[in-house]
Amino acid sequence: GEIAEKDIIANYDFYVYKNDETVKAEQEAAAAKVQPIYKVSENLKFNAQKNLDFIFQHFALYTNKDAASIKEKLLQNGYDLPLESVEELLNSDRRKRIYEFLIEELTKIFNIGIYPDNYHYQKIKIAKANRITNYELKRLYSLEEAKNKLVSKATSDKNKKIVQELANIILIENIVVDNEMTDLQQQKARENVPLTIGKIQKNEKIIGKNQKVTAFELLKLKSLQRAQKEQHTSKEDFELILSSLGIFFLSVFIIVMYYYILVLFFPPNFTSNPRLIIILFAFLISILLTVFVNNVLKVSSLIIPYSFSVLLIALVFSPHIGLIFNFFVLVFVSIFLNWSFFNPAILSLATLGGIIALKTMKKKQEYYPLALYLFLSFLIVITAVSLLRFESIVNYLWHILWGIISISSSIVGLVLLTPVVERRLNMATKQILLELLDFDNPLLKKMSMIIPGTYHHTLIVGNLAESAAEAIGANHLLARVGSYYHDIGKLESPQFFIENNSEASDLHDKMLANESAMIIKNHIQNGVTLGKKSKLPKPVLEIIQQHHGTSQIRFFYNKAKETNLDIQYDQFHYDGPKPQSKEAAIVMIADIVESTTKSLDDFSESIIQKVLDDTIRNLINEDQLAEAPLTLKELDTIKKYMLPILMGAYRKRLEYPE
């Protein structure tokens, strides 16, 4: 009843909605108009036939009784059948004929259906098999019509009388209301009630200035508010979609950029599929942990186990890659904290201490220095920030507590997950390589006892390879481990190798050259098989397989020529492949120069230098280094760093007086 203070114009099309009370009243009215839905009841048909059977069973059970006794029994059970009818039914033939007649005719009548006496419409809706059909009432039976139909079919007056009496007892209305279908139709009627009473067009005047606000105008104003809210919600949904797309494209850009940095600045094996899976997993876990802490726990973002994913990458790849990953995770975490960089930056700076600590870790179980470095770094950063921001001592202590939770959860995650990642993906990570260098390793102990000459040879090769690999920026740990295990295949037949058995030459003298060559050659495949059985990392297995390349087994090849043996190329050449990595090529070079130098009589610097020069020249001429990513400058560096180790290992010692 109020007066409008100004003209109100529609800014867009919208429907005018009825109020809730009106809608509810109209829905109930529509439901009340729904005609009941009926069904033909199978249960009532079954009960009628059961009653008929029960009546006739009295005559079968009481064959020695007279009609009065049977009538009395029937009456006790609720069946009032006249004495004359009982007497007629004592005749078994008549009883049988009437029973069979009733069973047949009752089935027909009940299948058509007997509608209720109180039904007053000309048509009735009956549901059969979830389908509603309108039947003319004349197609069905009333109770009286059903009785008459039954009696009219009887063959004699006596039978008609008996059928009449039985029909009065047995026949019932079997068309009953189907409450479930009726409720369903009423619900449909409610849903069909329109919720609106009109539509307002854009720029149409809803109400004029100084006009009285009637009930209808009030409905229009409420509908306008509803339309405005829907428009706002729609706009929010659209903005959410745009925001999600933006985050998606930015995330893809960050991951792609990180991948290309790996491709451009790091060795190719860092971009293998298993390692890319780890990168994606690390990014994903950072996002999930951030969302969980920020949106589920709704606590300070300093609790996020930020260091976990960064240190996992640093352990699996290298600290250098971990440093770069740290920057990208900082951006990722900040995005999902609504571009809040402050707390992620604190965690990122603290994580740098953890990356530095990786250098001090000798074995993977030693996570104490890692946790200590992380905590000290966090403590320094949070103390400096608290002083800059004039934080209270209470807030400062809370920040330290949150940092401890973040660091602890990160370390626990690393302890649990790092071994799984390393083993599952068969990676030559720093931790696994350090474990393989342990002289208590079962394979190394077995070599020291069964093939001591080879074992001593691998130790010197390891020193040579590690020094050279470190000098050219290759993986020096992998080079040393590959050197230690490159000859494990000799464990299968140690007696045929001269460094383990001084009488090996006698054994080979009794064999054909191609047989000897096959034994020597097989130490490669035997080594790979044993390495797989011992679950050595794939890069170490590759070094075992590649450390002889496709080179010739020259000694036995020359023997075959001298003995005029039929020579087949593959019998006197290793199967390869040629070294594919810097580490495999370095182990090949170190293996040859150590064996050659050991057999010299003169260990002067010039002679050993010549061995190095000749070895590398021969490998280049035989094309054995063609597939390894080594430059001539790096080969010179390798020679330079191997020379002093060889001289130190084989320099003649002074003789001490007795």
User: Which of 418, 447, 475 finishes a domain?
Assistant: 418
| Model pLDDT, residue 317 | 80
Q: What average pLDDT does the segment 604-616 reach?
A: 94
Residue 404 to residue 303: CA distance in whole angstroms = 8
Q: C-alpha angle with apex 528: 525 to 529, nearest 5 degrees?
A: 85
- Asked if the structure places residue 3 within a domain, the reply is no
Q: What average pLDDT does the segment 416-426 reach?
A: 79
Same domain for 115 and 39, yes or no, is yes
pTM: 0.53
Residue 419 to residue 282: CA distance in whole angstroms = 15
- Give the pLDDT confidence of 128-177 residue by residue, as tens digits: 877 888 989 889 999 999 999 989 888 888 888 988 999 999 899 999 99
| Model pLDDT, residue 373 | 92
**Least confident among 78-92, 200-214, 443-457, 489-503:** 200-214
| Model pLDDT, residue 9 | 84
Question: What 3-state DSSP class applies to 650?
Answer: helix
Q: What average pLDDT does the segment 244-249 reach?
A: 84
Residue 209 to residue 463: CA distance in whole angstroms = 97
User: Which of 154, 186, 218 finishes a domain?
Assistant: 186
Same domain for 108 and 54, yes or no, is yes
Same domain for 296 and 404, yes or no, is yes
| Model pLDDT, residue 203 | 84
| Model pLDDT, residue 206 | 80
Same domain for 374 and 518, yes or no, is no
Number of domains observed in the structure of the chain: 3
Q: How confident is the model at residue 235 (pLDDT cuts 50, 70, 90)?
A: low
482 or 60: which leads in pLDDT: 482
Same domain for 394 and 275, yes or no, is yes
Q: What average pLDDT does the segment 248-258 reach?
A: 88
Task: Answer whether 384's CB lies under 8 Å from 396's CB.
Answer: no
Mean pLDDT for the chain overall: 88
| Model pLDDT, residue 236 | 58
Same domain for 448 and 335, yes or no, is no
**Least confident among 80-89, 188-197, 294-303, 427-436:** 427-436
CATH of the domain at 601: 1.10.3210
CA 195 to chain centre: 45
Same domain for 482 and 441, yes or no, is yes
Q: What average pLDDT does the segment 274-289 reach?
A: 88
| Model pLDDT, residue 479 | 96
The helix (run of H) or strand (run of E) holding residue 38 is strand 37-40
525 pLDDT above the threshold of 60: yes
| Model pLDDT, residue 95 | 87
- Asked if the structure places residue 484 within a domain, the reply is yes
Q: Which residues contact 656 (CB under 8 A, 6 or more apart)?
A: none
Residue 212 to residue 207: CA distance in whole angstroms = 8
- Asked if the structure places residue 414 within a domain, the reply is yes
- Asked if the structure places residue 166 within a domain, the reply is yes
83 pLDDT above the threshold of 80: yes
Residue of 366, 330, 373 whose CA lies nearest to 352: 373
Q: How confident is the model at residue 490 (pLDDT cuts 50, 70, 90)?
A: very high
Q: Which residues contact 291 (CB under 8 A, 6 or more apart)?
A: 336
468 pLDDT above the threshold of 60: yes
| Model pLDDT, residue 267 | 65
- Give the pLDDT confidence of 87-142 residue by residue, as tens digits: 888 888 888 999 999 989 999 999 999 999 888 888 999 988 778 889 898 899 99
- Asked if the structure places residue 501 within a domain, the reply is yes
| Model pLDDT, residue 271 | 64
Residue 310 to residue 327: CA distance in whole angstroms = 9
Same domain for 457 and 330, yes or no, is no
- Asked if the structure places residue 232 within a domain, the reply is no
Same domain for 355 and 446, yes or no, is no
360 pLDDT above the threshold of 70: no
| Model pLDDT, residue 653 | 53
Residue of 23, 19, 6, 12 whose CA lies nearest to 200: 12
- Give the pLDDT confidence of 423-461 residue by residue, as tens digits: 777 777 777 888 899 999 999 999 999 999 999 999 999
347 pLDDT above the threshold of 90: yes
Residue of 18, 19, 24, 11 whose CA lies nearest to 224: 11
- Asked if the structure places residue 18 within a domain, the reply is no
| Model pLDDT, residue 364 | 47
Which structural domain range is residue 569 located in? 433-650
User: Which of 388, 418, 448 finishes a domain?
Assistant: 418
| Model pLDDT, residue 654 | 46
Identify any residues that bridge with 136 across adjacent strands, giving them in sequence order: 123
- Asked if the structure places residue 582 within a domain, the reply is yes
Same domain for 274 and 412, yes or no, is yes
- 131-136 β-sheet, strand order: 131-136, 123-128, 37-40, 175-177
- Give the pLDDT confidence of 566-601 residue by residue, as tens digits: 888 788 999 989 999 999 999 999 999 999 999 888
Same domain for 80 and 121, yes or no, is yes
Share of residues in the chain with pLDDT > 90 (%) = 48
Same domain for 274 and 180, yes or no, is no
| Model pLDDT, residue 566 | 81
Q: Return the C-alpha torsion angle 292, 298, 302, 307, nearest 10.
A: 0
- Give the pLDDT confidence of 361-380 residue by residue, as tens digits: 655 456 888 899 999 999 99
